[in-house]
Amino acid sequence: MRLNLREIIGNPGAALPFEAELDTDGLDFPAVRAYVGKPRAVGRVTNEAGVLKLTGELTADMLCVCDRCGTEFDSRKTTALHATLVDEDDGENPELFLLEGTEIDLDEILRTNFVLDMESKFLCREDCKGLCPRCGKNLNLGPCGCGKEIDPRFAVLEQLLDK
């Protein structure tokens, strides 16, 4: 989506609100099984003494897979949007985005902020216990029937305890 900023470029103190949906093509993450609707962004671009700043919030509802136990779960991701819009960019700062005349590519800004804010590990809950490494049972549902594994270096000592 292209956003025309002609109204606020030469007008310090002016603001332009926006609402947009982000296309999920190319937003592939290993733990995200599906997006429940398109991510929605709401925000505004303001002219602060000649500097154009974009602020807002992007919300995405997703169906995810837990990285520890493999359970599917619903997740809501809210990303704060922050970007500075400039005429020239040296490519060093990820928060700087180029104006194309009097317009910006809003999809590029939304996509970049969303990807940079994405978690590296998806968990169904903070205290997820994962799977038993021997039998594969989901330990969040209760303990498995496996006994405690003994270090093979102490196997001879275990024979003494059996007597």
Same domain, 124 and 134: no
Residue type, 132: C
Alpha helices in the chain (DSSP H): 6-9, 106-117, 155-162
pLDDT digits (tens, 9 = 90+) for 10-69: 778 888 899 999 998 888 898 999 999 899 999 998 888 878 899 999 999 999 999 999
> According to the model, what pLDDT value does residue 125 have?
92
Same domain, 46 and 118: yes
What is the domain extent for residue 26? Answer: 2-128
pTM value?
A: 0.77
pLDDT digits (tens, 9 = 90+) for 95-149: 688 888 888 888 888 999 999 899 889 999 999 999 988 888 999 998 888 877 7
Same domain, 45 and 98: yes
Number of domains in the chain: 2
Same domain, 61 and 106: yes
Same domain, 87 and 158: no
Same domain, 86 and 51: yes
Per-residue buried b or exposed e for 15-29, using 16+ beta carbons within 10 Å of the residue's own CB:
ebeeebebebeebee
Same domain, 152 and 117: no
